[in-house]
Amino acid sequence: MRDVAIIGAGVTGSFIAKELSKFKLSVAVFERKLAPGLEQTKACSGIIHPFQLPFKLLRSRLCLQGNKMMDAEAEELGFEFKRVGLITVATNPLTFLAIPFIVLYLRLHGVKAEALSKKKLLEMEPNINDKVYGGVLIPSAGVVNPVEMTAKACMFAEANGVEFFYGCEVVGIERKEDRFLIKTKKGDFEAKLVINCAGLYADEIARMVGYDMKIVPGKGSHIVFAEKGFTSHLVVAIPLKPNKRTKGGGALIGFDGKPIWGPNLIDVESKEDTSVKREEIEGIIAKFSPLFKKTPEEIIAVYAGLRSIAGQDFVINEPVKGFINVAGIQSPGLTAAPAIARMVLEMVSKHLELKKKDEIVRPEFKISKSEACRSLEDDEIVCLCNMVTKNQVLRVAEQFKCFDAVKQITWAGMDCEKCKAEIMKLIGERILKDSEGGEIAWS
Ligand SMILES: Cc1cc2nc3c(=O)[nH]c(=O)nc-3n(C[C@H](O)[C@H](O)[C@H](O)COP(=O)(O)OP(=O)(O)OC[C@H]3O[C@@H](n4cnc5c(N)ncnc54)[C@H](O)[C@@H]3O)c2cc1C
């Protein structure tokens, strides 16, 4: 029997696994996909948000904490994290007048903020429309590759003894006297504690132990443009009235510097609906174009993700003794993940004695983009668009045995069909379709 079973290896489950791996506990993670972070996490915007309104919410508190923890997490796990900063722009006289109050309000809540004159703003971001009035710089905003961040938390946890069962869907849970019986498609397991991090499906997992909750999917679409360096900060407009359900998206940038515009928020019925409609693309372009002198021209990708929404806040509770729910982790869950993990550790400590391990292993696994570029001399580039090397692709494929993981972690074959074909050829001899035919897995 394991001490702890974690259901789901998105960013939340992976960071909890990473924290638990530092203690003398037996921990298992059950993930129905073939690699970590391939559901909500992979389809997010990759922003480490500086704050979340209103400040009274749990997700707001965890966002602030998570943002502050991110440099140390990136250092500990070795993922790329850049504090690029956010500029929020006044596009009319009313929002311009609000700037001193916004700066004061953010500072009162511990968020660094600085008023920018129009001149300073245009010096910092020359592509911004010169009809703007001024803005606010919030330097703590950052960018990551969400799947790299998640995968590295899993690799750390695995190196420190956590067992990962991929391709292993949980289909039932039975409460026994002092334990849970977890039924999966790969057999039954027992654990003293269960931590539900199943994202969009966390309501189905909660219902397995008799707790009724509902996760509603909220679709968010993005556009990725080719013009690297179009802005060097994340850019949003100061809203006249904040929307309670969404931060409203922005003219963002990815960890590789390409512009990413979005996301919007569309209520959808299905937890599988990641379609991106033409009118959504037009809506996003119409919303953010007025912020700039010109619009980036070359769209190289569009993608959508589904937020798992259970009301206005995260649902982190223990509805049944020993069953910890980490549900409704909508935005800013990526930012909050390290802080969520600390909170859950506290909840676990009410049941199990947490004894620190004498030694913590720091895995040396070089899979990110800059790590690969550093070793170009003795390697061969297989994706010219994103400068990804052969060894890097093979290393990730060996670790996660899944083409989607290779693509999401290394960015190889992400932006063009020609590179994608090269990558498929490279790992093709050792791949096959999985049983559901959806993903491509290493044999
Ligand atoms: C459009 C969009 C943009 C966003 N942008 C940002 C952002 O910029 N910054 C930010 O901080 N946050 C952002 N978020 C929020 C962030 O992506 C989520 O909060 C975070 O990814 C949630 O992680 P998770 O681990 O809880 O869920 P998930 O990533 O969905 O992980 C849940 C895992 O559980 C697995 N699973 C489900 N059911 C089962 C089962 N029965 N058995 C086994 N495994 C199961 C799934 O396969 C999945 O891997 C955004 C979200 C969306 C949708």
Ligand 1 centroid distance, CA of 333 (Å): 8
173-199 pLDDT, tens digit per residue, is 999 989 999 999 999 999 999 999 999
Q: Which atom of ligand 1 is nearest to the CA of 335?
A: 11
List the one residue out of 288, 233, 232 whose CA is nearest residue 87: 233
Q: Which atom of ligand 1 is nearest to the CA of 252?
A: 8
DSSP string covering 416-436, please? -HHHHHHHHHHHHTTEEE-TT
Q: Whose CA is nearest to atom 21 of ligand 1?
A: 41
Question: Do the beta carbons of residue 199 and residue 329 sit within 8 Å?
Answer: yes
Name the DSSP letter for residue 23: B
Res. 440: pLDDT tops 60: no
The residues with which 116 forms a beta bridge, in sequence order, are 135
Question: Do the beta carbons of residue 412 and residue 382 sit within 8 Å?
Answer: yes
8-57 pLDDT, tens digit per residue, is 999 999 999 999 999 999 999 999 999 999 999 999 999 999 999 999 99
pLDDT (mean) for 339-346: 98
Ligand 1 centroid distance, CA of 96 (Å): 36
User: Is residue 221 in some structural domain?
Assistant: yes
Residue 32 three-state SS = coil
Residue 351 three-state SS = coil
Name the DSSP letter for residue 262: E
Query: Which tokens go with 187?
Result: 């057999």
- Report the C-alpha gap between 106 and 169 in whole angstroms: 42
Ligand 1 centroid distance, CA of 10 (Å): 5
pLDDT tier, 429 (very low <50, low <70, confident <90, very high otherwise)? low
Q: Whose CA is nearest to atom 39 of ligand 1?
A: 198
Give the CA distances from residue 389 to residues 29, 146, 226, 372, in Å, rounded to whole numbers and listed in that order.
30, 20, 20, 6
Q: Which atom of ligand 1 is nearest to the CA of 14?
A: 25
Res. 441: pLDDT tops 70: no
- Say whether both 113 and 221 belong to one domain: yes
Name the DSSP letter for residue 379: S
- Say whether both 220 and 95 belong to one domain: yes
Query: How confident is the prediction for the chain on average, in pLDDT?
Result: 92
Res. 334: pLDDT tops 50: yes
Q: Which atom of ligand 1 is nearest to the CA of 334?
A: 11
pLDDT (mean) for 119-138: 97
Q: Whose CA is nearest to atom 18 of ligand 1?
A: 333
Question: Do the beta carbons of residue 125 and residue 229 sit within 8 Å?
Answer: no
List the one residue out of 180, 267, 261, 163 whose CA is nearest residue 221: 261
- Say whether both 258 and 126 belong to one domain: yes
The residue type at 14: S
Ligand 1 centroid distance, CA of 374 (Å): 31
User: Is residue 81 in some structural domain?
Assistant: no
User: Is residue 76 in some structural domain?
Assistant: no
Q: Which atom of ligand 1 is nearest to the CA of 8?
A: 34
- Report the C-alpha gap between 41 and 37 in whole angstroms: 5
Res. 84: pLDDT tops 80: yes
- Report the C-alpha gap between 47 and 361 in whole angstroms: 28
Return the pLDDT at 129. Answer: 97
- Say whether both 47 and 153 belong to one domain: yes
Q: Whose CA is nearest to atom 15 of ligand 1?
A: 331
Return the pLDDT at 375. Answer: 52
Instruction: Output phi, psi for 333, to 5 deg.
Output: -65, -30
Residue 80 three-state SS = coil
Q: Please report, rounded to a whole number, the percentage of residues in the chain having pLDDT higher than 70.
A: 93
Ligand 1 centroid distance, CA of 44 (Å): 8
- Say whether both 206 and 153 belong to one domain: yes
User: Is residue 59 in some structural domain?
Assistant: no
Q: 250 is in which domain, residue-wise? A: 86-139+216-309
Question: Do the beta carbons of residue 75 and residue 91 sit within 8 Å?
Answer: no
User: Is residue 63 in some structural domain?
Assistant: no
Q: Which atom of ligand 1 is nearest to the CA of 220?
A: 1
Ligand 1 centroid distance, CA of 312 (Å): 16
Ligand 1 centroid distance, CA of 115 (Å): 34
How many domains in the chain? Answer: 3
pLDDT (mean) for 390-414: 86
Of the listed ranges 10-24, 85-99, 230-244, 423-437, the least confidently predicted one is 423-437
- Say whether both 280 and 405 belong to one domain: no
Return the pLDDT at 433. Answer: 47
Res. 439: pLDDT tops 80: no
Q: Whose CA is nearest to atom 52 of ligand 1?
A: 44
pLDDT (mean) for 331-358: 98
Best mutation site among 188, 331, 408 for ligand 1, i.e. most ligand atoms within 8 A of its Cβ?
331
User: Is residue 209 in some structural domain?
Assistant: yes
Return the pLDDT at 435. Answer: 42
- Say whether both 133 and 162 belong to one domain: no
Q: Whose CA is nearest to atom 31 of ligand 1?
A: 10
The residue type at 400: F
Angle at 45 between CA 39 and CA 50, to 5 degrees: 120
- Alpha helices, DSSP H, located in 118-265: 118-124, 146-159, 202-208
Q: Which atom of ligand 1 is nearest to the CA of 326?
A: 26
Ligand 1 pocket, Cβ-based, cut-off 6 angstroms:
7-13, 30-33, 38-41, 43-47, 49, 169-170, 197-201, 205, 220, 263, 305-307, 329-335
Q: Which atom of ligand 1 is nearest to the CA of 30?
A: 43
Res. 257: pLDDT tops 60: yes
User: Is residue 107 in some structural domain?
Assistant: yes
Res. 121: pLDDT tops 80: yes
User: Is residue 71 in some structural domain?
Assistant: no
DSSP string covering 264-305, please? --EE-S-TT-----HHHHHHHHHHHGGGBSS----EEEEEEE
267-312 pLDDT, tens digit per residue, is 999 999 999 999 999 999 999 999 999 999 999 999 999 999 999 9
pLDDT (mean) for 128-149: 97
Res. 432: pLDDT tops 70: no
Q: Whose CA is nearest to atom 3 of ligand 1?
A: 44
Chain centroid, CA 211 distance in Å: 26
Ligand 1 centroid distance, CA of 41 (Å): 4
List the one residue out of 184, 268, 200 whose CA is nearest residue 42: 200
- Say whether both 112 and 220 belong to one domain: yes
Q: Which atom of ligand 1 is nearest to the CA of 41?
A: 21
- Say whether both 186 and 247 belong to one domain: no
Ligand 1 centroid distance, CA of 306 (Å): 8
Return the pLDDT at 369. Answer: 54
